[in-house]
Structure 1
């Protein structure tokens, strides 16, 4: 059973709030909100690479940001940054291997102890070791949607014409969503905004099908995570 938080976090922060698989025909004025999302979903699902960036703001002002560049399969890079102190966790995933680099602020906040040196080491571990609450990103994205879509006003995002689509869902009683789908060129999903009493999240999509450069860190900078605590 879906929980409200699972729906919001999984669908907004990790970025999949689209629908079905059938492509529409005709202009955006002729199609329903559902048809526009269907077409965007099909387009996004066919991508070979994309960059997804999100900023989340909680009621007390706490924030975190994410940036993920992925082939939507098994190769991706990500960075998550929390709060004013700049605690950050970088990740490179290549097939079955994760390379993870927490910065000094992250380690200090996690351990409650100050460090007396810089932290530039990457830690290597099998993807199978990643836990659901580890803060690590999956490279895959499931572009699906829920709720009821309603067509909004035409707009423009970074010079691209788009249509706003309002989406509400009975299982999420704390807020609502707005999807922005390109209406010129390819019908990409450009942005998703969630506004609620629990938090606000803005997710943007860019670099569609741009060449993806994902490579392992230099061996001299890598430590096998299995060696920790020995």
Structure 2
């Protein structure tokens, strides 16, 4: 995990006895339609995703992340760190509710105390979160990037027939993205797979427009450090 925000620092400090030390975590060319067709597929997919009122996003890389979001300001996020530790987050408007488990607390240099680390949430300001601290924003850009060089043979993603589009980014000369777009019904983004520099990551999308039940924790389960 990179540098922590005030929000996450406060959350961890509030749910354990001890001094904060570290974060929860330790330290192809294709065939088929060319250029314009591939670019148009991506444009249509991103435009479709931007109309959604909710979506579930699963990412697997240095950690496993599941984000359920209205793509505005209400979402629930769970980050499972490889090697142990889980960080739960609920964001509702300007407020974050954060709950690290005991393993996450221990890896951050804390000793869980009392009931903390066993179900309690810490209330913090969403404005104090910064990118890379393990806390998620509810928004997602769905914006074009790189160069769509072509499509590959159709595949099936989550039971849906999809067209894979190969994307390269001049800012990342070693990496290649394969973006799978639904070929049935609306052109949703179904999966983005990245491979390069010895790394592999996947981001999958599901639950398009499904009802989103994200609520604040019960008042008895909250420790308020927001100052609000």
Shorter-chain TM-score bucket reads 0.7 to 0.9
Q: 1:97 corresponds to which residue?
A: 95
Runs of 4+ residues deviating >3 angstroms = 28-31, 113-118
What 5-or-longer segments of structure 2 have no aligned partner? 1-31
CA separation of 1:101 and 1:197: change in aligned 2, threshold 3 A: same
Distance in 2, matches of 1:155 and 1:198, equals 24
3-state SS of paired residue (1:208): coil
Equivalenced residue count is 192
Let me know the Cα RMSD of the aligned residues: 1.9
Matched, 1:47 2:46: no
**Cα shift at 1:29:** 6.9
**Cα shift at 1:198:** 4.4
CA separation of 1:151 and 1:83: change in aligned 2, threshold 3 A: same
Q: 1:213 corresponds to which residue?
A: 213
Q: 2:29 corresponds to which residue?
A: none
Distance in 1, matches of 2:33 and 2:160, equals 16
**Cα shift at 1:182:** 0.3
Deviates more, 1:145-154 or 1:47-56: 145-154
Distance in 2, matches of 1:226 and 1:42, equals 36
Q: 2:153 corresponds to which residue?
A: 153
Distance in 2, matches of 1:217 and 1:162, equals 38
Q: 1:173 corresponds to which residue?
A: 173
Q: TM-score, normalised by structure 2?
A: 0.79
Distance in 1, matches of 2:82 and 2:155, equals 31
**Contact preservation (8 Å) 2:43, 2:144:** no
Greater RCO between the two (CA within 8 Å, min separation 6)? 2
Q: 2:193 corresponds to which residue?
A: 193
**Contact preservation (8 Å) 1:174, 1:198:** no
What pairs up with 1:32-181 in 2 under 5 angstroms?
Answer: 32-56=37-61, 63-85=62-84, 87-111=85-109, 113-115=110-112, 118-149=117-148, 150-181=150-181
Distance in 1, matches of 2:126 and 2:112, equals 28
Distance in 1, matches of 2:130 and 2:192, equals 27
What 5-or-longer segments of structure 1 have no aligned partner? 1-27, 57-62
3-state SS of paired residue (2:131): coil
3-state SS of paired residue (1:190): strand
Distance in 1, matches of 2:161 and 2:203, equals 18
Distance in 1, matches of 2:151 and 2:184, equals 17
Q: 1:10 corresponds to which residue?
A: none
Q: TM-score, normalised by structure 1?
A: 0.78
3-state SS of paired residue (2:99): strand
Distance in 2, matches of 1:105 and 1:46, equals 38
Distance in 1, matches of 2:174 and 2:141, equals 23
